[in-house]
Amino acid sequence: MSGTTPAGSLDALDASDAYRRANEPAELVAMIGTSLTPEADRGAELVTAEPHECWHRGDFTELVRQIKAGELKAREPTMLHRTDGLAILYPGKDHALIGASEAGKSWVALLAALEVYRAGGVVVWADWEDDETTFLLRWVAIGGDPDDLLTGRLVYIVPEGDPSPWPELVAGAALVVIDTVEESAATMGYETDKRHQYSAWNRAVVRCAIAAGAAVLILDHVPKSREGGPPREGIGTVTKLNKIRGAVFMLETVTPFGEGKDGRSRLTISKDRGGKLGRHSEGKRRVLAEVTFTSDDDGLTVALDPPPPTTTDSTGSKRLTGYMERISRWAEPERSHRSKAAAERGVGGTPRYVGPAVNTLCEEGYLTTETGPGGHTVYASAKPYREADDLTGTAGAPTAGGGQDPII
């Protein structure tokens, strides 16, 4: 597994009780007191508190004292690190990871879970999508040990029936993964496309875990109508995004991966309420990481690499390097008699960028052209283009004689 947790990263996971109790509904505040140190015990007892008088003026004396003393500051992300050391999940806040099927959402969540577990934290994985066999096989594939499930710090559940044990299950957790929101809500009788019902589910499941001090990572699917293009939102009501107090990430497949096949996805920021991540992203789409999936005999290595900086050509104009790579990869398998319109459908994204990207690939020798049926121009891949070529200076014209059958 790539992306080792920096030593002591869990030290920053503890959020101020005063802050949390001043900002959470009464029924949640009374549930759990928690320690997020490596010594956190699954058997931690529930700590009861007097209900917070939400409809009366609160006493913020302690909160003000902590701020004036410099003891209470805005939370920094502390979990799920890029390969350059940047963490992207906030302690004690909720996050959404939205993407199409097979984009790698569960694998990214597993990377976060393994990192927290190895740092000594407690992880709770609530799985409404798969079963314990699938989870354990993936856990081992990404670098975990089967015995981890027996330690009490990796808690895996397939929730059914009465949800009343939930507060006790998340007591002491540093990270709670909900896989996925749609299935979870449906099992509990809520419809996520109805604002009030989603809010009720969110209070019962997500806010409960946050009140326990955990970071929450919610996995969500994109609507079927948006699959094939860059994800912009999950299924259902916009309330789902509005409720998030940490960050919302979109995961887009660049190259599909599988057993024995490497792949890549792109992680972008849709919302960053904590405000700590935007400056580490690139471009208008706020690309936060290039997620690589490397498959070998030992399993699957998942890594969050920093995005390449936005590149420019010799005139200072921005190069559409992301689209150029997507078009090149789409063009490389053998297809015949394809046009720019077919490329727009094939790679998704914004149509007005596909044409210029195709033109640049042709000008630089990555694609060749010829006249196809009906006099339309069709294209062939002369050699692969990769976005990293622009950063390493290896981008250039292909060697002679590299033509293939027309494919776009």
Of residues 244 and 10, which shows the higher confidence score?
Answer: 244
| pLDDT greater at residue 373 or residue 393 | 373
Q: How would DSSP label each residue in 218-247? A: EEEEPPGGGTTS-----SS-THHHHT-SSE
Q: Looking at residue 32, what is its pLDDT?
A: 28
Give start and end residues of each alpha helix (H) in 274-392. 321-331, 340-347, 351-363, 387-392
Where do the domains of the chain lie?
Answer: 9-305, 321-392
Q: What is the pLDDT of residue 273?
A: 92
Q: What is the mean pLDDT of residues 334-354?
A: 69
pTM, entire model: 0.65
Strand partners, 265: 253, 291
Highest mean pLDDT: which range of 36-40, 141-145, 221-225, 314-318 = 141-145
CATH (one of 3.30.413.10, 3.40.50.300, 3.30.70.270, 3.40.50.2300) for 9-305: 3.40.50.300
If pLDDT is split at 50, 70 and 90, which confidence band does 311 have?
low
Structure token digits, residue 288? 């936060």
Kind and range of the H or E run holding 187? helix 181-187
Average pLDDT of the chain?
76
Rounded Cα gap, residues 348 and 245, in angstroms: 30
Angstrom distance (rounded) from CA 113 to CA 111? 5
What's the Rg (C-alpha) of the chain?
24
Size of the chain in residues:
408
For 82-100, give the DSSP string: -TTS-EEE-TT-EEEEEE-
Q: What is the average per-residue pLDDT within 171-187? A: 84
Using alpha carbons, list the distances in angstroms from residue 155 to 24, 296, 314, 368, 393. Answer: 25, 27, 54, 54, 47
For 151-163, the pLDDT digits (tens) are 999 999 998 877 8
Q: Give percent of the chain with pLDDT exceeding 90.
A: 37
Helix residue ranges per DSSP H, 12-163: 17-23, 26-29, 61-68, 105-118, 132-141
Lowest mean pLDDT among 19-28, 187-196, 353-362: 19-28
Average pLDDT over residues 111-124: 97
Q: Of 56-70, 264-278, 358-372, 379-393, where does mean pLDDT reach its minimum?
A: 379-393
Q: Give the count of alpha carbons within 13 A of 185, CB side only.
A: 25
- Among 7, 10, 6, 217, CA closest to 108: 217
For the domain spanning 321-392, the CATH number is: 1.10.10.10
Establish whether domains 9-305 and 321-392 are of one fold: no
pLDDT, one tens digit per residue, over 46-79 is: 333 344 445 677 789 998 999 899 888 888 999 9
The angle, 0 to 180 degrees and rounded to 10, between the axes of the packed helices 351-363 and 321-331 is 80
